[in-house]
């Protein structure tokens, strides 16, 4: 186990699952986010000109691509919290009340 500057130990399983979430979330974030940006770019380059078409196009692309992108970002954030947060080791009960 690795120790932090304050002497608290980190759980290796917690760090492993944290990095696993970061990798999975990063892949989702890059692939879905890139695809979403491409679709928005192709939509504007393809001649979507009326305001109603632009709004509906952005709504569809935002729902289909934006929600998974946000979920990937959330996975990266939760994974980062697991990697960075040290495991709290409980003190002895007798020392707590002294």
Please give the DSSP secondary-structure letter assigned to residue 3.
B
Nearest to 66 by CA among 26, 33, 93, 97: 33
- What's the pLDDT score for residue 51? 77
Please give the DSSP secondary-structure letter assigned to residue 7.
S
- What's the pLDDT score for residue 34? 92
**Averaged pLDDT, groups of 10, the chain, 98 residues long:** 56 91 96 90 78 82 91 96 74 59
Beta-bridge partner residues of 3: 9
- What's the pLDDT score for residue 86? 66
To which residue do tokens 């892949």 refer? 27
- Interval 34-54: pLDDT, tens: 998 888 888 778 777 777 877
């Amino acid at each position: 186990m690795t120790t932090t500057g304050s002497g608290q130990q980190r759980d290796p399983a917690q760090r492993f699952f944290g990095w696993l979430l970061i990798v999975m979330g990063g892949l989702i974030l890059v692939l879905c986010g890139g695809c979403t940006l491409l679709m928005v770019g192709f939509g504007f380059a393809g001649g979507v000109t009326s305001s109603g078409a632009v709004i509906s196009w952005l709504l569809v692309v935002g729902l289909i691509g934006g929600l998974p992108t946000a979920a990937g970002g959330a996975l990266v954030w939760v994974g980062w919290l697991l990697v960075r947060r040290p495991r709290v080791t409980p003190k002895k009960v007798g020392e707590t009340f002294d």
